[in-house]
Structure 1
């Protein structure tokens, strides 16, 4: 299975997954199988859908952030994305995510 892994470059902010190191600005380098990339792409797509829901909800001014389900969904999905990148990432990616302090004690949890 290790032989099936390919290098990918990830930009969390834009949801980009690229095989080219120079095609765009990226934040994390990972090694993943086709299946793992499909799962990561699905997480990014789910987060994008949540962001649209949040955009629509943002026009309802009386809902506070900490009572906003769409914001909670985005936060949880981003945490799941960072957990996946931590699991698949190179040493630098793992260190950066750990320094962000957004993961639970167990990065696979």
Structure 2
């Protein structure tokens, strides 16, 4: 675990892959896109957002498998998914390294 020396609130550096929904402490453990410094509470909140996103992915898969022609609920599901993605990237931007912030800015998502 890498302690962020600049912050006395127990922040640790984590390596995040939004695509796979992973928050890693070991930079070598898997591929990652972004680097953030989080305290325990922030880490838990980000994990909850990723868990919610995974649940929504499962719900969408189930929904579209059983309703291939779509429904009024499709746009609502997509809007919910998009909102979660934005929430995740806001958290990552807020706690990200300079490189992470530049990457998120380049996405023009926020």
Q: TM-score, normalised by structure 2?
A: 0.87
Q: How many residues align?
A: 103
Distance 1:10 1:49, change over 3 A: same
Which of 95, 102, 108 is matched with 2:102 structurally?
95
Change (3 A) 1:14 1:63: same
Question: 2:3 — aligned with what?
Answer: none
Measured in 2, the distance between the counterparts of 1:67 and 1:8 equals: 34
Q: 1:62 aligns to what?
A: 69
**Which of 8, 19, 29 is the matching residue for 1:13?**
19
Residue of structure 2 in register with 1:107 after alignment: none
- Segments of 4+ moved more than 4 angstroms: 64-67
| Aligned residue among 43, 56, 62 for 1:37 | 43
| Unaligned ranges ≥5, structure 1 | 104-109
